[in-house]
C-alpha cells in the first residue's frame, strides 16, 4: 500500500497504450495509482501486475457519476488525488462532409468533455490537499490540422485551450495544468498506420508509449515551474511548421 499522505494518481485510458505506460512509470513513485478505463479485463490484469500500490476502477469518462465514484474510491484507498492524467481518447476518420454528427459529438465527448469532467471534480480535492498536477494528453493534432480528422483535431485543439484556461484559474491553488502533444506513437490506436506516416520527420520513426510516459512523469514530478505549458513529442514533425511561420514574420 502506498503512503496515503502523498495521495494518488488517476490515469484515464490506463489499461493499455500510453496510459498503461504512464501507470507503470508512476507506480514506481511512492504514490497510489488508479488505472481508470472501460477495459475491465486489461485494466485489472495490469493493476495486478504492477503491484499493491496500483488498483483498477471502471471509468466511462463521459459519465459524471462514474467519475465521482472513481474519485471517491481513489480517496478511500490511497488518499487525495494529487495527479490526474487525462489520457483516454478515441479517433474517428471522416471529412467535414462525411463524418456523422453522432460520431463527431462522440469524439468530442470522450476527448474533451471527459477531461473537463475529470478536472471539474478533481480540482477541489487537489485544492484541499494543498495542490496537484493535471496532465492532459493532447496531440500534434492540437497544434495543426489534419485532413480527414476533423472531430479528433477539434477535440485536441479544445483540450489544449482548456489546459491553458485551467492553468490560469488554478495556479494560485498550487495546481499545475499542462498538455502533452505526441506525434505518431506505437499504440493500439495507431496499429493500422504504416511507418510511412513518420517517414518525413527529422526522426523518421514512431515514438513509444514509454517515451510519452517519461515526459508525463517529468511534468508531474520535476517540472515544478511549468503550468499552461505544451510539451511536444513528435520526432520533430512540427518543427518545420514553426520555422516556416518564423520565416514569414
pLDDT tens-digit series, residues 70-79? 999 999 999 9
pLDDT higher at 108 or 184: 108
152 catalytic per annotation: yes
Is the pLDDT assigned to residue 1 strictly greater than 80?
no
Under the banding of pLDDT at 50, 70 and 90, the label for residue 242 is: very low
Under the banding of pLDDT at 50, 70 and 90, the label for residue 241 is: low
Sheet holding 230-233, edge to edge: 54-58, 32-37, 8-12, 81-86, 132-137, 175-182, 230-233
Q: What's the whole-number mean pLDDT along residues 64-83?
A: 97
DSSP H or E run through 117: helix 114-129
- Position 138 scores a pLDDT of 98
Domains of the chain: residue spans and CATH: 8-232 (3.40.50.720)
pLDDT higher at 158 or 235: 158
Q: What's the whole-number mean pLDDT along residues 12-27?
A: 98
**Annotated active-site residue in 152, 157, 206, 231:** 152
pLDDT, averaged across the chain: 92
Check if the beta carbon of residue 203 is closer than 8 Å to that of residue 235: yes
Q: What's the whole-number mean pLDDT along residues 196-203?
A: 76
Under the banding of pLDDT at 50, 70 and 90, the label for residue 125 is: very high
- Grid cell listed for 249: 514574420
pTM: 0.92
DSSP H or E run through 206: none
- Position 204 scores a pLDDT of 82
Is the pLDDT assigned to residue 68 strictly greater than 90?
yes
Is the pLDDT assigned to residue 51 strictly greater than 90?
yes
Amino acid at each position: 500500500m502506498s503512503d496515503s499522505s502523498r495521495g494518488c494518481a488517476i490515469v484515464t485510458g490506463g489499461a493499455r497504450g500510453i496510459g498503461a505506460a504512464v501507470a507503470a512509470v508512476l507506480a514506481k513513485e511512492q504514490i497510489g495509482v488508479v488505472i481508470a478505463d472501460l477495459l475491465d479485463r486489461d485494466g485489472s490484469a495490469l493493476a495486478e501486475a504492477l503491484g499493491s500500490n496500483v488498483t483498477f476502477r471502471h471509468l466511462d469518462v463521459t459519465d459524471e457519476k462514474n467519475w465521482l465514484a472513481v474519485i471517491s474510491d481513489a480517496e478511500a484507498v490511497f488518499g487525495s488525488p494529487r495527479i490526474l492524467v487525462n489520457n483516454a481518447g478515441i479517433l474517428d476518420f471522416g471529412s467535414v462532409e462525411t463524418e456523422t454528427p453522432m460520431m463527431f459529438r462522440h469524439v468530442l465527448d470522450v476527448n474533451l468533455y471527459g477531461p473537463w469532467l475529470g478536472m471539474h471534480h478533481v480540482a477541489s480535492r487537489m485544492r484541499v490537499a494543498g495542490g496537484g498536477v493535471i496532465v492532459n494528453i493532447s496531440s500534434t493534432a492540437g497544434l495543426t490540422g489534419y485532413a480527414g480528422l476533423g472531430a479528433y483535431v477539434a477535440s485536441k485543439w479544445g483540450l489544449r485551450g482548456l489546459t491553458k484556461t485551467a492553468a490560469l484559474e488554478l495556479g494560485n491553488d498550487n495546481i499545475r495544468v499542462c498538455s502533452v502533444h505526441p506525434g505518431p506513437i506505437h499504440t493500439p490506436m495507431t496499429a493500422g498506420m504504416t511507418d510511412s506516416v513518420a517517414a518525413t520527420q527529422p526522426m523518421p520513426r514512431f515514438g513509444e508509449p514509454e517515451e510519452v510516459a517519461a515526459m508525463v512523469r517529468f511534468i508531474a514530478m520535476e517540472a515544478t515551474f511549468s503550468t499552461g505549458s505544451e510539451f511536444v513529442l513528435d520526432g520533430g514533425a512540427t518543427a518545420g511548421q514553426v520555422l516556416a511561420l518564423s520565416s514569414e514574420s
